[in-house]
Chains A and B, each alone.
Chain A
Amino acid sequence: MAVMTMRDALNLALAEELARDPSVFLMGEEVAEYQGAYKVTRGLLEKFGPKRVIDTPITELGFAGLGVGAAMAGLRPIIEFMTFNFSILATDQIINSAAKMLYMSGGQFKIPIVFRGPGGSAYQVSSQHSQALESWYAYFPGLKVVMPSTPADAKGLLKSAIRDDDPVIFIEQERMYGMKDEVPEDEDFTIPLGVADVKREGTDATIVARSLMVPTALKAAEELEKEGISCEVIDPRTIRPLDIDTIVASVRKTNRAVIAEESHPFASVGAEISAEIMEQAFDFLDAPVKRVSGADVPMPYAKNLEQLAIPDVAQIVAAVKEVSYK
């Protein structure tokens, strides 16, 4: 084990997988000579050369589609979006090509590709650079969607995503790149996709949280512990396919569920999890499922307004108390 930032854990995963498989290449804006806009790809050009680590023009639809085509012909591309906000330009290729190719070709063309980069809220970059898009991608059969919340998960999940034969949307959190924790240095360390992790065990209420909301939920759980409420914090880690069994098992034990997410509430991943809990654990619920979401507004610039738009510890604490009737 070594203590490192999430940024360096991702960098290590990329380096290990580039070294392991010559069909893996990394492509995106500023990934090579600039060393990555967020330095996730630092040093990779030097290690692997310009054939494997490729700077692109600002042409998201183009290089996303190029990646899908390269995957059809047998390569394993890692396509970096400088931020997932820019993936909006590439959605035709992600959704209409990557997600559907295996199906509409009758099983002939698998698309082993990873689309990765930071998503969710950032620091005062306003509406177009600060948004959570996971519910868009999780909507489509054919895509897998992954969102790590710790440096170790980031490394293990990214390695699994690169080795996976399907298109994986891998959403990092810009605010979490500097987060430090222990990370296994073993090159064989991976975390399977589709498996949730219990980040904290508890008995009185379940908090389902992903990405930035995991550390926020863990802080809320600490505060609630002081007030005698024991919270279990579940991180699905993979949004699609969703490990609903782990979530339902927890809710059947605690009988209360709060879902915390950065995204807008309408048609969100939290709405889906809430519906699935209702379908599979209705008789175990002692209170309606409560969602804590980002505000239903474009992200504002002003620091005070931005803080109001992102769920915080206090909101999660209040939600758990509400479902606990305390």
Chain B
Amino acid sequence: MSNQSGEQRDQAKRASSSAVSVLDPPNKASASATQSNEIGEDRETLVEILRQMVLIRRFEEKCAESYSLGKIGGFCHLYIGQEAVGVGAISAVRKDDYVLTSYREHGQAISKGISPDAVMAELYGKAGGCSHGKGGSMHLFDKTVGFLGGHAIVGGQIPLATGVAFASKYQETDRVTLCFFGEAAVNQGAFHESLNMAQLWKLPCIYICENNMYGMGTSLERAMSLQNVAQKSCAYELASEFVDGMDVLKMRQATQRAVKRAREESLPTLLEARTYRYMGHSMSDPGNYRTRAEIEKHQERDPIKLFINDLKTNGVISDDDLAQIEARVKEDVEQSVRFAEESPLPAERELTTNIYANPL
């Protein structure tokens, strides 16, 4: 995958105990690695997509545990259930493309290339965090991988992403921008103002609405007069597509189409990804506004289970491969906690740094 760093590849090698691992790059893996399959993607890409989804699931489970232990403070919004949206979409862009998103962004940050170590350390409020402990769960940033935040006012990232796309066009680069937001953000003026400007000025921005059916405790039905988000694009003559957000490859393919439109024609797209979050809005939300049965119904179409079934049915991976991925991910998550625990607190002098780039 284009956005997999060399470091991640090295880690993959280290994690593998057998001579040939499902996680090895193709030159070391079995001959089937680059062979075509029914799915139409190379095996390395499919395995990497699966690895990221499992990593995010286990990482978020660890976050819940650490939050309960008081190791993580503030608000903590988990991505469990929605992994296919972020991983599928980000698998379709280059490392030098941009991602901006909301406060439910641990998974997208990892998928774009921030190490689990740097994300976990940020959640722990440590100096080794990707925002040096100043941002926390809702404000992850890493300029080097094109991850431009983590924004915590609902919809606030949408005009920002539009501006990043404006800059790419102004600078005459072919970089594209992915902008993630929940369906509740669609009711904000920022969404409508941005889509209007993006189509008016033909900006290479891909707006991805993660429709998980609830804005905190308020269901879609109680908040939105027109519940078909993709359809709203017609107000701005914007290209749009409705995507099954529980199907990672459909998410990848829809994003690839949007990326092509953005890169080659400098045109925006609105994608509506229908998905579901299994956990509360944040760690402090007991979720009394929906039933256990409703959650379980959605879990029947769990994005990771669906993808594993797909890969197994098509002979891409075996149970052994899956066990290897789980083992590697478990080690990566445990390592991230060790890193976060060992990372120092920010020095007290950091309280008053980074307020101005040119202090007077």
Contact = CB atoms under 8 A, between A and B. Distances in A.
Contacts of B98: 73
B156 A107 contact: no
A59 B197 contact: yes
Nearest to B190: A61
A166 B165 CA distance: 21
Q: How large is the interface on B (under 10, 10 to 19, 20 to 34, 35 or more residues)?
A: 35 or more
B189 interface: yes
Interface string B139-165: 101110000110101001011111111
Interface stretch (A63-71, A179-187, A248-256, A293-301): A63-71
A45 to B, nearest CB: 16
Interface stretch (B8-16, B212-220, B325-333, B350-358): B350-358
Contact of B197 (A63, A108, A194): A63
A74 interface: yes
Contact of A109 (B130, B148, B171): B148
A57 B159 contact: no
B102 interface: no
Given A59-B196, A93-B156, A66 B166 contact: yes
B200 interface: yes
A92 B153 contact: yes
B193 A59 contact: yes
Among A92, A104, A194, which residue has the most Cβ atoms of chain B within 10 A? Answer: A104
A151 interface: no
Interface string B322-360: 000000000000000000000000000000011111101
Interface string A1-38: 00000000000000000000000010000000000000
Interface stretch (A95-103, A216-224, A276-284, A309-317): A95-103
A102 B353 CA distance: 9
A77 B166 CA distance: 11
B211 interface: no
B357 A102 contact: yes
Q: How large is the interface on A (under 10, 10 to 19, 20 to 34, 35 or more residues)?
A: 35 or more
B200 A57 contact: yes
A202 interface: no
Interface of B: 98, 100, 129-135, 139, 141-143, 148-149, 151, 153, 156, 158-168, 170-171, 189-190, 193-194, 196-197, 200, 353-358, 360
B236 to A, nearest CB: 11
Contacts of A43: none
A51 B166 CA distance: 11
Contact of A66 (B131, B149, B159, B353): B159
Contacts of B200: 57
A109 B143 CA distance: 8
A108 B142 CA distance: 7
Contacts of B168: 73
Contact of A62 (B129, B139, B142, B197): B197
Given A66-B162, A108-B143, A241 B360 contact: yes
Contacts of B193: 57, 59, 61-63
A72 B163 contact: yes
B355 A102 contact: yes
A145 to B, nearest CB: 12
Nearest to A106: B132
A42 to B, nearest CB: 23
B162 A65 contact: yes
A16 B203 CA distance: 28
A69 B156 contact: no
Given A69-B163, A102-B354, A165-B358, A97 B196 contact: no
B231 to A, nearest CB: 21
A164 B153 CA distance: 27
Contacts of B100: 69
Nearest to B134: A106
A112 interface: yes
Contacts of A59: 193, 196-197
Nearest to B194: A62
Given A69-B100, A74-B171, A241-B360, 18 more contacts: A57-B193, A62-B189, A62-B194, A63-B197, A66-B166, A69-B165, A70-B163, A70-B167, A72-B148, A93-B160, A97-B151, A103-B354, A105-B354, A106-B129, A109-B149, A141-B355, A166-B356, A194-B360
